[in-house]
Amino acid sequence: MRHTFQHRLDAVLVSRGVDPHVPDVYRLQDDSDGNGPFIASWTPPDSSYGEQPTAAELAAVTEAQGDASKDAHLEAICERMLASQPLLDCAIEAMSSATGEDIRAQVMTAMKERMNGE
């Protein structure tokens, strides 16, 4: 599977009906032995997150779930970037006003494509 450990982990959380983008739910760490990342800490905000995902749950994530998780992760990054850059947000609003259409979705798509290396 081509998805990162984080995307698989996020997909498991989404399948549980919880938000994987809540800060500090988990912390990943690499063991530096080439075995890839692992969950170093699991501190969900409430019991709805359940126990730490198992290796079997992570392995069961489908390609479609991984794709959706990756897209949601990039979307969350874009939202944070736009929220932290009021000038950029103003520029998007001005361009939307000038064109008569909301271009935020187009900007978000372009940002995600850039982050994806497309």
pLDDT for position 64: 93
Average pLDDT over residues 57-75: 91
What are 66's two structure tokens?
């991984």
In whole angstroms, give the CA distance from residue 27 to residue 83.
Answer: 23
pLDDT higher for 3 or 98? Answer: 98
Instruction: For the chain, report the end-to-end CA distance as a whole number of angstroms.
Output: 19
Pick the closest to residue 50 from 4, 7, 9, 5 (CA basis): 9
pLDDT for position 4: 86
What confidence tens digit (pLDDT) does each residue in 94-118 have?
989 998 988 888 888 888 888 877 6
What confidence tens digit (pLDDT) does each residue in 17-42 have?
999 988 889 999 887 777 778 899 99
